[in-house]
A and B are shown apart, each in its own frame.
Chain A
């Protein structure tokens, strides 16, 4: 990570203008000047991302925006492969990272870029920061990761729903319990899933925290009520969208 955030390094870093490729990009897909907006909602498990995105989507649609959602590992090309690989115990940190990157590339080319071109608001449930955090915790070289994700587009807004580990543990246990990967059991912190979950999520939070300044995260306290967070989200999204688009985003299509 650079000590001078204003000097762009190679690959994904915060010195890049929103709506452009972080790094070398995809040469055969020029994206400059596309009218759509990319909004990423980041945060660990249990922070309520999907609830917030669903509410935000409805609100935006009522206001007349075209909205699409995209989410981590949801690409039709890669989802079955990733599920299979996770269950086979042969994944290592490198193939893990590359499978995620492939999934992301597929969604970028097939969903995100066409939507931006058509003037949609793209709500991304997690973005490359999830990949950077998970891989960073696993000791993958940070500069290599940033180069790898140099084909990603810098979002116009990144909201980071921030939760402390104690609250996170409570929510995950209430919802569905701790699972193998979310607990970072592959990192072999020990056999105890609770201890492992706690250690892993703590490390993840530190990774996210270290990216917050670099990538201009707008941090929101995820301990607050769903309504409270949604109001804040809407306020910030409106403040960004309204001046950039004259109120004809749908009529333009």
Chain B
């Protein structure tokens, strides 16, 4: 519970200072993870599914949500290639499911992925196959985003001329 609530507090702070003001100013906000991360992660930790959704009901619903999906083994390989050790919480070590970090990661993140799959339908997440090459993924992402960001016509402005 405290894990869930601390993240919600952090999210509320960022929402009110970093997300809502630029939205009001008409800017595009790119959020690296959003409430869906909390839904997947907190429920895997045993928090009630409906409670955590209600908790985050103060969040702004995104115009577009992308979900980059990879199988566990791929994410493990990618993480291990970059650093030697898995982080305690990302491996779900706090749950005590396995003393082996890699095994714990597989168990924990496997359940997190199951939760994400549930979210795809519930919140209309757009799934991007994160197996594909970066270029392919980026092209797909651009296609998905394009309808949401209509190019504004360059405003015709005339500089004031000295009389």
- Using a CB–CB cutoff of 8 Å, the interface residues on chain A facing chain B are 10-11, 23-28, 77-78, 90, 92, 94-95, 98-99, 101-102, 105-106, 108-109, 144, 147-148, 150-151
**B2 and A109 contact, CB distance less than 8 A:** yes
Given contacts A94-B16, A95-B12, contact A26 B54 (CB under 8 A): no
Known: A98-B5, A98-B8. 13 other contacts (CB 8 A): A26-B46, A26-B47, A28-B46, A90-B13, A92-B13, A94-B58, A95-B12, A95-B13, A102-B9, A106-B2, A109-B1, A144-B54, A144-B58
Q: Which residues in B have their C-beta under 8 angstroms from that of A99? A: 9
**B16 and A148 contact, CB distance less than 8 A:** no
Interface size on B, residues (CB 8 A): 19
Q: Which of B17-64 contact A (CB under 8 A)?
A: 17, 46-48, 50-51, 54-55, 57-58
Given contacts A28-B46, A94-B58, contact A150 B2 (CB under 8 A): no
Tell yes or no: B6 within 8 A of A by CB: yes
A108 to B6, CA, bound (A): 15
Listed from nearest, the 8 A-B pairs whose CB atoms lie closest are: A28-B46, A98-B9, A102-B5, A105-B1, A24-B48, A147-B54, A24-B51, A94-B12
Q: Which residues in B have their C-beta under 8 angstroms from that of A101? A: 5
Q: Which of B75-126 contact A (CB under 8 A)?
A: none
Q: How far is the CB of A16 from chain B (nearest CB, A)?
A: 15
A39 to B37, CA, bound (A): 37
Question: Interface of chain B, helix or strand or loop or mixed?
Answer: helix
Q: Which residues in A have their C-beta under 8 angstroms from that of B12? A: 92, 94-95, 98
**A147 and B55 contact, CB distance less than 8 A:** yes
Given contacts A98-B8, A102-B9, contact A27 B2 (CB under 8 A): no
Closest to B8 in A: A98
**B16 and A151 contact, CB distance less than 8 A:** no
A26 to B45, CA, bound (A): 11
A10 to B8, CA, bound (A): 20
**B46 and A27 contact, CB distance less than 8 A:** yes
Closest to B48 in A: A24
**B51 and A147 contact, CB distance less than 8 A:** yes
Q: Which residues in A have their C-beta under 8 angstroms from that of B46? A: 26-28
**A23 and B51 contact, CB distance less than 8 A:** yes
Closest to B51 in A: A24
Q: Which residues in A have their C-beta under 8 angstroms from that of B55? A: 147-148
Closest to B16 in A: A92
